Amino acid sequence: MTLHSQLGPGAEFDLIRTFRSNLPDHPDVLVGIGDDAAVLRGGWVVSIDASVEDVHFRRSWLNAEEIGYRAATVALSDLAAMAASPVALFVSLHLTAQDYARGPEIMTGIARAALAQDAAVAGGDTTRTSGPLAIDVAVLGRSDRPVLRSGARAGDDIWVTGRLGGAAAAVQTWHAQHQVSAAARAAFAQPHARVREALWLARQLELHALIDLSDGLASDAAHMAAASDVLIRLQADQLPIHDAARRSDDPVHLALTGGDDYELCFACAAGSVETVRADFERTFGLPLTRIGRAAAGTGVQIVAADGHPLTGEWRGYDHFGVTS
Amino acid sequence: MTLHSQLGPGAEFDLIRTFRSNLPDHPDVLVGIGDDAAVLRGGWVVSIDASVEDVHFRRSWLNAEEIGYRAATVALSDLAAMAASPVALFVSLHLTAQDYARGPEIMTGIARAALAQDAAVAGGDTTRTSGPLAIDVAVLGRSDRPVLRSGARAGDDIWVTGRLGGAAAAVQTWHAQHQVSAAARAAFAQPHARVREALWLARQLELHALIDLSDGLASDAAHMAAASDVLIRLQADQLPIHDAARRSDDPVHLALTGGDDYELCFACAAGSVETVRADFERTFGLPLTRIGRAAAGTGVQIVAADGHPLTGEWRGYDHFGVTS
């Protein structure tokens, strides 16, 4: 029987909910639609991720190599989110006739992302398109013990790696047609798939639930909350905010709703992470921050330092939502 | 060391040749780019295939369910081409805002194709696009002994399943704005992934090389010839031509260059297939036809009944070629 996690709110997820119940299963599929990746018998972990021009990036923001690098990295991040080791990428390039000459540059970026995680590029398809440049990357990895999003328990602490809101700060600045700082640009153009970090954490700790931050912390925490059937309460004053986001009008909002950080968010028994935190930060040069706690209930609540809930629209990017 | 087969001619394949040498490998990838699918350690066979509006199909030709069915079937056909059993599909849908309501219909078609091959739909991604409707399907299957395109030997007989040119006849008729027959339409809109046929043949025979016919027989045979380092000589008068193609101006040309048949083409020791042919045809209700022979040399030669080579442009669809 294949496990399908509960999904969080959003029109894209409504669509998935609509058709998921009618999709066929296979006995070799242990975890199906609803987590960051599927788990197949034998320890294989598999996902597919799209990068589409003017949806996930703009041409004016990235060069061709970065477009490829980023497309592969966001797919690899889904393996990090399962604590799986990448093995192979399969790449479908949709190129306009004018983009044909940029194919090798895009593939160079994809190869760089794969190489950074010791993964192969093992297959692909190349299609001419009249529309936006698009790249689909399917990733395969292995894990003896994949970590799902569904295991958070009331009382768990919620942690994140790295700093949040940097990529969103870059996007906000580009939209405002202001000059984007090198640090903000790098946060968007050169994200890291936190694979080594996830494997390290999974070795050191009993991770109850793990997800990567692609849609924005508030949205992704809502997925973890829905899958785990808990309430996740996040402390706005504890968020590790990227320097570029700190300089924005509303750093907390960017950190909560800005997607594209590709950091890890995980749930662990209260008090268990503190013992390895310094070692993690030294090993990876990356902060590890407790940002909240799971409790009985449903959904996500954002609270101020005094414990009072913040109000606001905390949803991240929703491809088909009325708000985005 | 990952095996990479030689590719046949065409601009799309020139692009792959350009970047393939710079792509990273992984020890778990046994067969990489260049065959119908990759082979990973443990018997997993993996491929990704794109279906893009106005490239692979037109909206006026297919309904939404058929668009989904066909996208999944052509991907599954790559598993048939390796004699692998499908396990799971991963689907990336690029939908315009107007297409959002058709998502469930498209997924119904994908589910039908998966169900026909006892495979699960185990993951996906849904993206809003401003451009053409596009579907990427990654397929995973298993095989204890995958059949590559690279094993044809001089002296082998070349065989195909089914009848050729039906889908191309439909496309030709649509382009001419004439009425398309039900049989021609079905050949295009309802192709079959010949998975059971491939598994049956692989059990009964020692298949030296196997490929599915997606680009057109002449092109696909050229890939087999290049990968196997042989000349493949096809007999124009022996081709099993679809009834819809027989009614066209040039049935042989359609059968040779019309893509989208998704039949199997394979190489076997001379004389070995005849013993199982009647049983195959009875089991599957599908003709099995010897269409040529492999010889020392390179490329593909089309010969008339008297043995003289036919001249002409036999290349199939090439996404970035000057001829298409």
- H helices, E strands: number in chain A: 10, 12
CB contact under 8 A, B16 and A87: no
Q: Which candidate, B89, B115, B142, B137, places its Cα nearest to that of A41?
A: B142
**Range with the lowest mean pLDDT among A248-252, A311-315, B28-32?**
A311-315
* Pick from A5-19, A136-150, A292-306, B264-278: least confident: A5-19
Mean pLDDT of A71-80: 98
- Helices then strands, counting H and E runs in chain B, come out as 10, 12
Residue A317 above 60 pLDDT?
A: no
CB of A205 closer than 8 Å to CB of A272: yes
Query: Which of the residue ranges A44-48, A126-130, A200-204 would you say has the lowest mean pLDDT?
Result: A126-130
User: Beta-carbon neighbour count of residue B101 at 10 Å?
Assistant: 11
What integer pLDDT is reported at residue B313 of this predicted model? 62
More confident residue, A9 or B163: B163
Q: What is the mean pLDDT of residues A36-42?
A: 93
CA–CA separation, B64 vs B60, rounded Å?
10
Dihedral angle sign, alpha carbons of residues B60, B61, B63, B68: negative
B251 has a pLDDT exceeding 70: yes
Question: Would you place residue B1 in the very low, low, confident or very high pLDDT band (cuts 50, 70, 90)?
Answer: low
> Residue B294 pairs with which residues in a beta bridge?
B232
Contact B111 A22 (CB under 8 A): yes
- In eight-state DSSP terms, residue B271 is T
* Cβ separation B23–A111 shorter than 8 A: yes
Query: Token pair of B279, please?
Result: 């049983």
CB-nearest to A120 from B16, B25, B44 is B25
Q: Which pLDDT value is given to residue A101?
A: 87
Q: At what angle do helices A11-20 and B103-116 cross, to 10 degrees?
A: 40
Give pLDDT tens digits for B10-24.
766 676 676 667 788
Residue in B122, B132, B320 closest to A33 by CB? B122
Tokens of B50: 């794109």
Query: What's the whole-model pTM score?
Result: 0.93
Question: A216-248 burial, b if ≥16 CB within 10 A, otherwise e?
Answer: bbbbbbbbbbbbbbbbbbbbbeebbbbebbeeb
Query: What's the pLDDT at A324?
Result: 27
B172 band by pLDDT with thresholds 50, 70 and 90 = very high
Nearest-neighbour CA in chain B from A270: distance (Å): 32
Query: What's the pLDDT band for B258 if we cut at 50, 70, 90?
Result: confident
Tell me what the pLDDT averaged over chain A comes to: 91
Q: Which amino acid is at B299?
A: G
Residue B98's pLDDT is 87
pLDDT at B60: 92
- Predicted local distance difference test score (pLDDT) of residue B319: 46
The amino acid at A120? A
Q: Summarize the confidence of residues A36-48 as an average pLDDT.
A: 95
On whether the CB atoms of residues B87 and B120 are closer than 8 A, the answer is yes
d(C-alpha B305, C-alpha B142), whole Å = 40
pLDDT of residue A47 exceeding 60, the answer is yes
Confidence of residue B222 (pLDDT cuts 50, 70, 90): very high
Contact list in A for residue B19 (CB cut-off 8 A) is 103-104, 107-108, 111
Q: With CB atoms and an 8 Å threshold, state whether B24 touches A92.
A: no
pLDDT computed for residue B2 by the predictor = 66
pLDDT greater than 60 at residue A320: no
Q: Which of B266, B116, B290 is nearest to B201 (CA)?
A: B266
pLDDT score at A1: 55
Nearest to B195 by CA among B109, B84, B46: B84
Spell out which residues of chain B touch residue A97, defining contact as CB-CB under 8 Å: 320
Q: Which of A56, A100, A122 sits opposite B33 (nearest CB)?
A: A122
Rounded CA separation A126/A216 (Å): 31
Chain A hits for B132, Cβ within 8 Å: 129-131
Residue A319 pLDDT: 46
Other residues' Cβ atoms within 10 Å of the Cβ of residue B284 = 17
Q: In what order do the strands lie in the sheet with A29-31?
A: A29-31, A38-40, A44-52, A134-142, A85-95, A120-128
Handedness of CA B262, B227, B222, B309 (dihedral sign): negative
The alpha-carbon gap from A113 to the nearest alpha carbon of chain B, in Å, equals 10
> How far does A287 lie from chain B, in Å, by closest CA?
30
CB–CB of A125/A93 below 8 Å?
A: yes
Per-residue model confidence as pLDDT tens digits over A239-262: 999 999 999 999 999 999 988 999
Chain A's closest residue to B114, CA to CA, is: A24
Shortest CA distance from A119: residue in chain B: B26
Q: Tens digits of per-residue pLDDT, B100-143?
A: 889 999 999 999 999 999 999 999 999 999 989 999 999 999 99
Distance to chain A for B298, nearest Cα, Å:
25
A164: which DSSP letter?
A: B
| Token digits of residue A178 | 């202001």
Q: What letter does residue B56 receive in the DSSP assignment?
A: T
- A40 contacts in B (CB within 8 Å)? 87-88, 122, 140
Question: Mind listing the pLDDT tens digit for each residue in A203-215?
Answer: 999 999 999 999 9
Give the pLDDT confidence score for residue A12 in this predicted structure: 66
Rounded distance between C-alpha atoms, residue B164 and residue B216, angstroms: 9
Smallest CA–CA distance, residue A232 to chain B, in Å, is: 25
Q: What is the pLDDT of residue B320?
A: 46
Q: Do the Cβ atoms of B184 and B176 come closer than 8 Å?
A: no
Closest chain A CA to residue B56: A127
Which residues from chain B sit within 8 angstroms of residue A111, using beta carbons?
19, 22-24
Residue showing tokens 């049935």: B251
Nearest to A127 among B55, B92, B123 (CB): B55
Contacts of A55 in chain B (CB under 8 A): 127-129
Alpha carbon of residue B6 to chain centroid: 17
Higher pLDDT: A216 or B321? It is A216
> Which among A132, A56, A121, A134 is positioned nearest to A92, based on CA atoms?
A134
- What rounded mean pLDDT belongs to chain B? 91
DSSP string, A214-282: SS-HHHHHHHHHHHHTSEEEEEGGG--B-HHHHTSS-HHHHHHH------EEEEE-TTSSHHHHHHHHH
Residues in A touching B52 (Cβ below 8 Å): 94, 127, 129
Pick from A11, A55, A126: which is nearest to B12 by CB? A126
Q: Which residue of B has its CA nearest to A2?
A: B122
Q: Determine the distance in angstroms separating the CA of B277 from the nearest CA of chain A, rounded to an integer.
A: 32
pLDDT at A14: 72
Interchain contact, A127 vs B29, CB within 8 Å: no
The per-residue pLDDT for B285 is: 97
Quick check: A87 and B129 CB within 8 A? no
How many whole angstroms separate alpha carbon B323 and alpha carbon B320?
8
Residues facing residue A124 across a β-bridge: A91
Assign residue A151 a region: left if phi > 0, alpha if psi is -120 to 50, beta otherwise? alpha
pLDDT of residue A169: 95
Decide if A90 and B47 are in contact by the 8 Å CB cutoff. Answer: yes
The per-residue pLDDT for range B40-84, each reduced to its tens digit, is 999 999 999 999 999 999 999 999 999 999 999 999 999 999 999
Partner-chain residue, chosen from B15, B46, B130, that has the shortest CB–CB distance to A132: B130
Q: Do B50 and A121 touch (CB under 8 A)?
A: no
Contact A12, B126 (CB under 8 A): yes
Q: Is A100 helix (H, G, I), strand (E, B) or coil?
A: helix
All residues of chain A having their beta carbon less than 8 Å from the beta carbon of residue B12 are 126
pLDDT reported for residue A85: 98
Using a pLDDT cut of 70, give the percent of chain A over it: 91
Region A9-20 average pLDDT: 69
- Give B94's contacts in chain A (Cβ within 8 Å): 50, 52, 134
The answer to whether the Cβ–Cβ distance between B142 and A104 falls below 8 Å is no
Nearest to A48 among B37, B40, B92 (CB): B92
Closest to A81 in 3D by CA, of A199, A211, A194? A211
- Among A26, A90, A140, beta carbon nearest to B87: A26
A183-189 long-range Cβ contacts below 8 angstroms, 24+ apart: A183/A242, A183/A243, A183/A244, A184/A242, A184/A244, A185/A61, A187/A242, A187/A244, A187/A260, A187/A261, A188/A61, A188/A260, A189/A61, A189/A62, A189/A66, A189/A69, A189/A70
> Mean pLDDT across the stretch A144-164?
97
Angle between helices A64-80 and A195-204 (to 10 degrees): 10
**Which residues on chain B are in Cβ contact (under 8 Å) with A91?**
48
Burial B73-100 (b: 16+ CB within 10 A, else e): bbbbbbbbbbbbbbbbbbbbbbbbeebb
Mean pLDDT for A2-15 is 70
Class of residue A307 by CB neighbours under 10 A (exposed 0-12, middle 13-18, buried 19+): exposed
Residues of B in contact with A18 (CB under 8 A): 103-104
